[in-house]
Amino acid sequence: MTDRNAIINELARAIGHVASGNDAEAHDIIRTLAKGIDTQRTLPGIEPAPVKVAVDDARKLTAMELFRYWQRECEHTAARPTPERLTKVVARLRDGYTAAEIRKAIDGAKHSAFENDGGKRYDDLELICRNGTKLEDFIARGQKATGAIVVEQASTGGIEEQIQTLRRTMAQLKKDGRATEYEAHARDLAALMAKRGAQ
């Protein structure tokens, strides 16, 4: 398949199926597209992106979800997703810590963060995820306060977790009317689903 418009139309059909919960049909469309595009190695006029970019994008989406969790649980409703906060979360995800472990660390900050004499709590997300040692300390506090970490996904958790994260983010973007960002994430979702189909 070499016609860019045809490819875009097929991707739009696949996204429609994903949005309506018909993953099997979307998967078939993506697989067919992937086979056609593989002969070209890329879409016409567009350089192929390395797989690492898609993984990093998924980590950034996960970092945003973790930011929202921290914002809610630690009652920082006015806090913003600053680069300092999100960069630290992404770095810990790159180190191999799971989203469940980071949520548990946030729970630890919620229940037992240090508070100075003036009432300032030291529970910022940037502090929680500053480095592996800090994160593990807060994880231990979270386990002590709320119990063990719940394992989220089994063997295919990496791609499946990324797909679920993208779907949740896309739903929020659609709800917020942010079409351009929605379309960018839809392309990422299509790539991940094609990768899942190839496994």
Q: Is the pTM of this model over 0.75?
A: no
4, two tokens:
């860019």
Among residues 142, 138, 116, 140, which one has the least CA distance to residue 127? 138
- pLDDT tens for 181-192 read 777 777 777 777
Is 46's pLDDT higher than 60? no
Provide the pLDDT confidence category of residue 150 given band limits of 50, 70 and 90: low
Residue 115: how many CB atoms within 10 A of its CB?
A: 11
Q: What is the DSSP string of 36-78?
A: HHHTTSSSTT-PPPPHHHHHHHHHHHHHHHHHHHHHHHTT-TT
pLDDT digit string (tens) for 66-118? 999 999 999 999 999 999 999 999 999 988 888 889 999 999 999 988 989 99
pLDDT for residue 54: 64
**89 vs 52, residue with greater confidence:** 89
State what percent of residues in the chain have pLDDT above 70. Answer: 80
| Distance in angstroms (rounded) separating the CA atoms of residues 127 and 125 | 5
